[in-house]
Amino acid sequence: MDKQKELILEGKLPKVMWHLAWPAVVAMVLYGLNNFLDGIFVGHLISNTALAAVGIAYPLAQFAQGFGTLIGTGIGSAISIWIGRKDTVKLEQSMGTVNYLTLLFSIVLTLPCYVFAEELVYMMGGRGEILTLGVEYFRATILGSFFWIHGLALNMIIRAEGRMKTAAWMIAIGLLVDLGLKPIFIDTLGWGVAGAAWATNISMMIYTLLGVWYYASGKASFRTKFWSLQRKTAIIKETLSLGMPGFIMMVMIVIQNIVVFNALAKYGNEADITFFTAVNRFYILLNTPLWGLMRALQPVTGMNYGAKQYMRSIQAYRLFSLVGLAILLPFWLFVMVYPSGVLAVMIPHTEFLAHQLFDFRIYMSVLLVLPFVFMAMVWFPAIEDAKPATIISLLRQVVFYIPIMLLVPGIMGISSIYWASAAIDWIIFALILYAVSKSVTKLKLKNTSSR
């Protein structure tokens, strides 16, 4: 038995968690820093208007991440289960399917988004100079969509094998390239917001090539035909089924941002857009350790579920959720106590108003329950029960978020965006606890019947 697989299936869970989680957390924090650093470089080297433009355009670029997540989470969850079941046939066919889906989604995404970039950024709430700069940033970003999709998918699959350290150093190399190129492209060469996008595209290309090298050179823990395009209907269906919750979350985040930025443009001003961009980027940055824990939880849950060790799958969810809470707690305390100092990192030379700092604290208040929500979103597909994650994702955005954000800001002002978001996430937390408890009961029954 492969040592990594043996550890996941037989090792003590705290040891398994530590072995897999710390490189995964580091990897995802590094990945999340890309988005955060865009804000810092653009805000400091160009202007607050440019920061607002990037803030409006960036959610559109997340469609590429959404497709990468769909492939990576879907195939990744399936691969973890197939490794547990020793299904060598599907493992061998998996990479050809990844290549096929990446090529398909890249073409479907890139062409229409580039042609209709101005209309899309306008739809996000971009007007005037914000619209002009937003289109420039988005068009440059979308040209790199193939590398965003393929790089993210391959890295997520590497993590699904349990090779967290390998995935982490690949992300670290990409980030270092991004860090080196951003100031050169933005300031030295004078490319402005497009320079920020091209720096990221090049870093994602290198990130993708490292993933290609890993699988093409036979370093994976399973045999696969990497240099192939395979349209295996059964694998595609399983991929889409298991990856759909993550994809829906990404798409809904884009729709959520469309609604929020339009409300900010309609009822607020440029300063409000800039402020929300900064707040949201800090919020996303603080979420990145949870993304790492999610990726580490996926192979632990999937392999143990595939091996019919259902109780270990349950215990893994609980352990990873509590560790996520422990990681976030000190950072949460810091941003709650020193909000103005935190925000000044991205919006320099600004005196923040009391109501803005209050809005920031309200928005951040929900952070401590997110570990339980995020872990559930990857745990459900890993136990072949993606339906609760899909339903809750749709409930959050379609039933709660979009209607509330369309109505409330016009009645109660811009501040309602922050407290309504927090209130919705508290409701989602309650729904997640209910859904998890039902799935735990089912797994316990399966565990009893399998003895």
pLDDT at 2: 66
Q: What pLDDT, in 10s, does the model give residues 103-117? A: 999 999 999 999 999
For 395, residues 6+ apart whose C-beta sits below 8 A from its C-beta are 428, 431
- Above 70 in pLDDT, residue 357? yes
pLDDT band at 319 (very low <50, low <70, confident <90, very high): very high
Q: Per-residue pLDDT tens for 232-290? A: 888 888 888 888 877 877 777 788 888 888 899 889 888 898 899 889 888 988 998 99
Task: Give the model's pLDDT for residue 230.
Answer: 81
Residues of the domain holding 292: 3-449
Specify the amino acid at residue 39.
G
Quote the number of domains for the chain: 1
Q: Rounded CA gap, 203 and 300, in Å?
A: 29
Please, what is the angle between helix 128-142 and helix 192-216, to 10°?
20
> What confidence tens digit (pLDDT) does each residue in 14-41 have?
998 888 888 878 877 877 777 787 788 8
114-149 pLDDT, tens digit each:
999 999 999 888 888 999 999 999 999 999 999 999
Query: Looking at per-residue confidence, does 309 or 208 come out higher?
Result: 208
Q: How far apart are the first and last CA of the chain?
A: 23
How do residues 213-231 score in pLDDT, each as one tens digit? 998 888 877 778 777 778 8
Q: How many CA atoms within 13 Å lie on the side-chain side of 316?
A: 37
**Sign of the Cα pseudo-torsion (17, 22, 28, 29, in order):** positive
Q: Tell me which of 44-48, 79-83, 425-429 is least confident.
A: 79-83
Tens of pLDDT, residue by residue over 66-86, are: 899 889 888 888 887 887 788
Q: What pTM does this model have?
A: 0.78
